[in-house]
Chains A and B, each alone.
Chain A
Amino acid sequence: MPVNEEFKPTIVAFCCNWCSYAGADLSGTNRLQYPANVKIIRIPCSCRLNPMFILRAFQRGADGVILCGCHPGDCHYTTGNYYARRRMTLLFSMLDFLGIERERTRVEWVSAAEGAKFAATMNDFSATIHKLGPNRRLEDLRCRKD
Chain B
Amino acid sequence: MKKIAISQLNTLFAAIAARKTLYIPADDGAGSAKFTVWQEGVTLTDKLNTVRSAKDLFFPQVENLVNFKVEGTKIDIVENRDAAEPFVVFGVRACDCASFDILDRVFLSDPVDTFYQTRRENGVVITLACSRPAETCFCGVFGIDAANPAGDITCWMDGESLYWRANTKKGEQLTAALDLADCDGSAVTAQQEATREILKKLPLNSLDLSDFKDQKLLDVFNSPKWAQLSESCLGCGTCTFVCPTCQCYDVQDFDNGREVRRFRCWDSCMYSDFTMMAHGTNRPTQKERFRQRFMHKLVYFPNNNEGIFGCVGCGRCLQKCPIHMNIVKVAKALKEELK
Q: Which residues of B contact A143 (CB under 8 A)?
A: 256-257
- CA–CA, A33 to B28, complex, Å? 52
The verdict on A142 contacting chain B, using a C-beta distance below 8 Å, is yes
Q: Which residues of B contact A140 (CB under 8 A)?
A: 256
Are B257 and A142 in contact (CB-based, < 8 A)? Answer: no
List residues of B (226-244) whose CB comes within 8 Å of A's CBs.
Answer: none
Q: Which residues of A contact B258 (CB under 8 A)?
A: 145
A131-146: CB near B (< 8 Å → 1, else 0) gives 0000000001011010
The verdict on A85 contacting chain B, using a C-beta distance below 8 Å, is no
List residues of B (56-73) whose CB comes within 8 Å of A's CBs.
Answer: none
Nearest neighbor of B258 in chain A, beta-carbon distance: A145
- CA–CA, A140 to B254, complex, Å? 11
Q: Which residues of A contact B257 (CB under 8 A)?
A: 60, 143
Nearest neighbor of B64 in chain A, beta-carbon distance: A142
- Interface of B: prevailing SS: loop
CB distance from A143 to the nearest CB of B (A): 4
List residues of B (285-335) whose CB comes within 8 Å of A's CBs.
Answer: none
CB distance from A139 to the nearest CB of B (A): 11
CB distance from A56 to the nearest CB of B (A): 12
Interface residues on A, range: under 10
List residues of A (67-118) whose CB comes within 8 Å of B's CBs.
Answer: none
Q: Which residues of A contact B254 (CB under 8 A)?
A: 142
- CA–CA, A60 to B254, complex, Å? 12
The verdict on B261 contacting chain A, using a C-beta distance below 8 Å, is yes
* Most-contacted residue by chain A among B256, B257, B258, B261 (CB, 10 A): B256
A117-132: CB near B (< 8 Å → 1, else 0) gives 0000000000000000
Interface residues on B, range: under 10
- CA–CA, A87 to B261, complex, Å? 33
List residues of A (55-73) whose CB comes within 8 Å of B's CBs.
Answer: 60
List residues of B (211-270) whose CB comes within 8 Å of A's CBs.
Answer: 254, 256-258, 261
CB distance from A41 to the nearest CB of B (A): 15
CB distance from A135 to the nearest CB of B (A): 15
Nearest neighbor of B263 in chain A, beta-carbon distance: A142
- CA–CA, A60 to B258, complex, Å? 11
- CA–CA, A94 to B261, complex, Å? 30
CB distance from A91 to the nearest CB of B (A): 24
* Most-contacted residue by chain B among A60, A140, A142, A145 (CB, 10 A): A142
Q: Which residues of B contact A142 (CB under 8 A)?
A: 254, 256, 261
Nearest neighbor of A143 in chain B, beta-carbon distance: B256
Q: Which residues of B contact A60 (CB under 8 A)?
A: 256-257
CB distance from B254 to the nearest CB of A (A): 6
CB distance from B331 to the nearest CB of A (A): 42
Q: Which residues of A contact B261 (CB under 8 A)?
A: 142
- CA–CA, A60 to B256, complex, Å? 7
CB distance from B282 to the nearest CB of A (A): 31
- CA–CA, A4 to B142, complex, Å? 60
Q: Which residues of A contact B256 (CB under 8 A)?
A: 60, 140, 142-143
- CA–CA, A39 to B256, complex, Å? 17
CB distance from B256 to the nearest CB of A (A): 4
- CA–CA, A34 to B9, complex, Å? 63
CB distance from A65 to the nearest CB of B (A): 17
Q: Which residues of B contact A145 (CB under 8 A)?
A: 258
Nearest neighbor of A59 in chain B, beta-carbon distance: B256
CB distance from B321 to the nearest CB of A (A): 29
- CA–CA, A142 to B258, complex, Å? 10
9 residue pairs of the A-B complex, CB under 8 angstroms, read A60-B256, A60-B257, A140-B256, A142-B254, A142-B256, A142-B261, A143-B256, A143-B257, A145-B258
- Excluding A140-B256, A142-B261, A143-B257, 6 further A-B contacts by CB distance (< 8 Å) are A60-B256, A60-B257, A142-B254, A142-B256, A143-B256, A145-B258
Chain A residues in contact with chain B, CB under 8 A? 60, 140, 142-143, 145
Closest 7 CB pairs of A and B: A143-B256, A142-B256, A142-B254, A142-B261, A60-B257, A60-B256, A143-B257
